[in-house]
Structure 1
Amino acid sequence: MVEHQLRLLDGLQQIRVFNWPYSGAVGLVEQHGDVRQIHVINNWYYLGSVEDIADAARLTKVAHGFDRDGYKILSEPLLKGQHKVILLE
């Protein structure tokens, strides 16, 4: 019974969804050499990309419903601090 409980908890941990850790939208900075993109994200929703942070405010439309694949792609770099994050709000 204990082994079953441990397997269950491990399985649930793998599909856990974390709360949005910021008070509003953020820019996730991705840079390779001279090329820089700022990916604008709010509440796990990808809003788009800009090259200039001044353009980030125009990205406000979100898709309907929760995008599980988008969450998987975005959560690792945001939660593990793999890229610079700019608070936008």
Structure 2
Amino acid sequence: MTNRQISSLSPSPAVPSQVLVASNIDWGVTIDAYLLGAARIGDRYAAQAYFDLSGNTEDGMTVVTPPVTLLFRKDEFVMLRSVCGKDHYVIVTEQGKG
């Protein structure tokens, strides 16, 4: 059995309530992923991703964003856009904050 087959047998983690709150906000653009426990690394973030539109990751998997810039804050959330302008992310929680 491959790692992918084994991981597909494991149930996905429950989506945290904070992610559900952030996903119900009208951001004005399509959000490519919601990031939980985000840690900034230069102009990128590593985080657990939820509702990833790429289809490459399951909820709760760790991802690294492409280079991003901060667009704005809404409540306790932060919206990011990739430098290329194609992708949008929302930081739900950030390490070392709050």
TM-score if structure 1 supplies the norm length? Answer: 0.24
Question: Which one has a larger percent strand, Structure 1 or Structure 2?
Answer: 2
Greater share of residues in helix: 1
Structure number with higher relative contact order (C-alpha < 8 Å, ≥ 6 residues apart):
1
Relative to the length of structure 2, the TM-score reads 0.23
- Whose radius of gyration is greater, 1 or 2? 1
